[in-house]
Amino acid sequence: MRNGFVRCACAVPPLRVADCDYNASEIIKMINEAAENDCSLLVFPELCITGYTCGDLFLSETLLKGAKNALRHILSETAEVDMAFIVGLPFEVSCKLYNCAAVCHKGKVLGFVPKSNIPNYSEFYEARHFSPWNEKAPDGSENGVFINEFDAYICCEQTFECADNPLFKFGVEICEDLWVAEPPSNKLAKGGALIICNPSASDEVIGKKEYRRKLAEMQSAKLCCGYIYSDCGFGESTQDMVFSGHSMICENGLRLAESKLFTQGIIYADIDLERLAYERRRISTFSAGPAIEGWNFDMKPKQLKLNRYFAPKPFVPSDKADLAERCEEIIAMQATGLATRLKAIGCKTSVIGLSGGLDSTLALIVTVHAYDMLGLDRKGIIAVTMPCFGTTARTKNNAMILAEAYGAKLMEIDISASVRSHFADIGQSEDVHDVTYENCQARERTQVIMDIANKEGGIVIGTGDLSELALGWATYNGDHMSMYGVNCSIPKTLVRHLVAYEAEISEEKLSAVLKDILDTPVSPELLPPSADGTISQKTEDIVGPYELHDFFIYYTVRCGFAPSKIYRIAKLAFKGIYDDETIMKWLRKFIWRFFSQQFKRSCIPDGPKVGSVTLSPRGDWRMPSDASSAMWIKELEENTQ
């Protein structure tokens, strides 16, 4: 189980009601098929050996014996299959009948799990045939009743754990158990199960699919677990109900796989157990209970070729409609944060260093929205353009047009003379284009807007984004500093979409300048332009592609992945976009910069948290500035050979 991924599956077999031999043969076919696809855990529907709709035939000795014999046949035919699977059958204990799931592996039953909640309303009449298992056991034993003929216990609260991989631990609840106020999965998850399996027989009625989907997604989110829901389908009696085989596999609120209604077959998904374990460690309110008694099984690790999609831009919704709605919401959140700060301090003046680049453009957009919320005159926004050695005509003109289009007050202050004077003070040659040459300009710009803010009784609005903070791509006490940083939790890949959204909803002149800003290369413009007057210093040529770095940020900060795991999934996400060597190069660079630049993040200004990833030292990310990256680099090198 490399990197914590385990392949799981739901199987919806064709069946014949009350024909256990036929059903067993179809189940065996699917078990072999799943095993050939490197599956480690396969879940069949509720009562799949007999069929769910047997009615009073469940009381028949013939059916009950036939179900046991079919289970024995399944076990004998799969004795060499190194995969855990769950099949359903009626099972009699002490003259009471239970709706059970048999958890099996390599020809043996690991345990029988009876259904806890027996529905007896609407179209369901299970209480006519089955008893609820609401005691430890009829004989009072802790582990339930021992079934000699299968060398296994029957009881509800039991877990099943891979001996060589303690993260691969699962529990079982059955159909209705999910729909009640206190599902058994609550205790199972608190007891250590990272995967919950649900063999189900949920009939189809209009609207039920969406409700069922929400239940499975939410339960997986609440319990920080994988949830495998396998529903019965074609072959069940349609005398009074129709079954659609609606199966799904969820992980922490995300639906990884889902079957089409009224189909049969197998769906697969690779559940990430390491991520689930990380979520439980991270969320302090996930209250682990006493460990549930478990049964171990030995399973050889499978080297999976991952069957899972990783979005190359995890911060950006892939659906265009969702993206527009998300952009509107994010800008509103940023603006609300700023508006709250302005109102709290009684401030009507904001100062922004407007470069004509993406970040300062978004900061101006947000500030305009905040002023509109408060009913303030936009002339209270002072947009300062400060051309110097690297400023191009394109970015300068765009800054001026942008300020005019929004109705902000524009100030142009050429800082070249001030920077040259400072060069003379410290003995810096203007011909030496080193980090001092660059940072002197950045700090002079910050000094100018800070002093304007003091003079006008206003505050400086920070423009730096999340990606720059992660990489430390900011001049300490230069663009690194402000009174309120509106973009502090917006990654660069999302900044672009937010500006594009504003362009789409703006009038023609404003839209045109916003679109030209979107087409301008990302640059701090601290080095002289090329001979043709175009930008010579392109940020992504120096620090690497922001879409790669944003991917690294998300899986490092939000998910806690090891570098080798990030490299593995990045190769899938960016296949055909970047080769392996390029991904490795910038991942190494990211790790080094992320650790070495923490001192800049330890003292960043206030700013609104917008998404699930933020690097504020007062909020989500607290990291010592002196932490070493050596173990992370070593892990990457040792596990990607």
Model pLDDT for residues 229-271, shown as the tens digit of each residue: 999 998 998 888 899 999 999 999 999 999 999 999 999 999 9
- The answer to whether position 536 is within a domain reads yes
Which is catalytic among the residues 115, 187, 302, 565? Answer: 115
| pLDDT in the model for residue 227 | 98
Give the residue-averaged pLDDT of 530-542: 79
DSSP state of 148: G
Model pLDDT, residue 104: 98
pLDDT, one tens digit per residue, over 197-209 is 999 999 999 999 9
Tell me what the mean pLDDT of segment 37-53 comes to: 97
- Residue 140 scores a pLDDT above 90: no
Q: Is residue 312, in this structure, part of any structural domain at all? A: no
**pLDDT of 536 strictly over 90:** no
68 is an active site residue: no
Q: Residues 595-617: what's their mean pLDDT?
A: 96
d(CA 558, CA 223): 18
**Same domain, yes or no: 467 and 591:** yes
- Asked if residue 335 and residue 255 are part of one domain, the reply reads no
Give the pLDDT confidence score for residue 157 in this predicted structure: 87
pLDDT in tens, 286-340: 988 888 878 899 999 888 999 899 999 999 998 888 999 999 999 999 999 999 9
Claim to verify: residue 442 and residue 537 sit in the same structural domain: yes
- For 315, the 3-state DSSP assignment is coil
8 A C-beta contact, residue 465 and residue 492: yes
Phi, psi of 552 (to 5 degrees): -65, -40
Domain encompassing residue 125: 2-297
What is the pLDDT averaged over residues 594-614? 96
Pick from 237, 262, 297: which residue ends a domain? 297
- Same domain for 206 and 89, yes or no, is yes
> Is 615 inside a domain boundary?
yes
Q: Is residue 260 part of a domain?
A: yes
Let me know whether 293 and 324 are in one domain: no
Q: Which of 233, 264, 297 is the last residue of a domain?
A: 297
Regarding whether 30 and 85 lie in a shared domain, the answer is yes
Tokens of 130: 């089955």
The closest alpha carbon to 128, from 180, 200, 178, 54, belongs to 54
At residue 617, does pLDDT exceed 60? yes
Could you tell me how many residues make up the chain? Answer: 641
Do 329 and 432 fall within a single domain?
Answer: yes
Report the CATH number at residue 611.
3.40.50.620
Q: Say what the pLDDT of residue 152 is.
A: 94
For 431-446, the pLDDT digits (tens) are 999 999 999 999 999 9
Instruction: Kindly state whether residues 380 and 524 are assigned to the same domain.
Output: yes
Mean pLDDT value across the chain: 94
**Catalytic option among 175, 197, 225, 327:** 175
Question: Is residue 311 included in any domain, yes or no?
Answer: no
pLDDT at 138: 47
**Helix H or strand E encompassing 463:** none
- Indicate if 106 and 237 belong to the same structural domain: yes
36, two tokens: 């050939």
DSSP string covering 170-182? EEE--GGGGTSSS
Please confirm, yes or no, whether 10 is among the known catalytic residues. Answer: no
Furthest C-alpha separation in the chain:
100
Residue 474: CB atoms within 10 Å: 22
Query: What angle in degrees, to the nearest 10, is found between the helix axes of 320-345 and 492-505?
Result: 90
pTM: 0.92
pLDDT digits (tens, 9 = 90+) for 452-476: 999 999 999 999 999 999 999 999 9
pLDDT at residue 620 tops 50: yes
Residue 86 pairs with which residues in a beta bridge?
Answer: 43, 103
**Among candidates 162, 146, 223, 155, which has minimal Cα distance to 191?**
223
Whether the Cβ atoms of residue 551 and residue 429 lie closer than 8 Å to each other? no
Residues 164 and 287 in one domain: yes
pLDDT score of 404 more than 80: yes
Q: Give 392-406 as a DSSP string.
A: -HHHHHHHHHHHHHH
> CATH number, domain at 224?
3.60.110.10
Number of domains in the chain: 2
Task: Give domain status of residue 290, yes or no.
Answer: yes
Domain match, 274 and 325 both: no
Domain shared by 335 and 286, yes or no: no
Residue 313, domain member (yes or no): no
Q: Express as a percent the part of the chain with pLDDT over 90.
A: 87
Per mean pLDDT, which range of 135-139, 378-382, 519-523 is the poorest?
Answer: 135-139
- Of 297, 312, 346, the last residue of a domain is 297
- Residue 238 inside a domain? The answer is yes
Nearest to 270 by CA among 4, 546, 611, 627: 4
Looking at the DSSP bridge assignments, the partners of residue 266 are: 11
Q: Residue 142 has what pLDDT?
A: 57
Across 75-93, average pLDDT: 97
SS3 429: coil
Using DSSP bridges, classify how beta strands 96-105 and 108-114 pair: parallel, antiparallel or unpaired: antiparallel
**Catalytic annotation, pick one of 10, 20, 26, 46:** 46
Query: Is 175 among the residues known to form the active site?
Result: yes
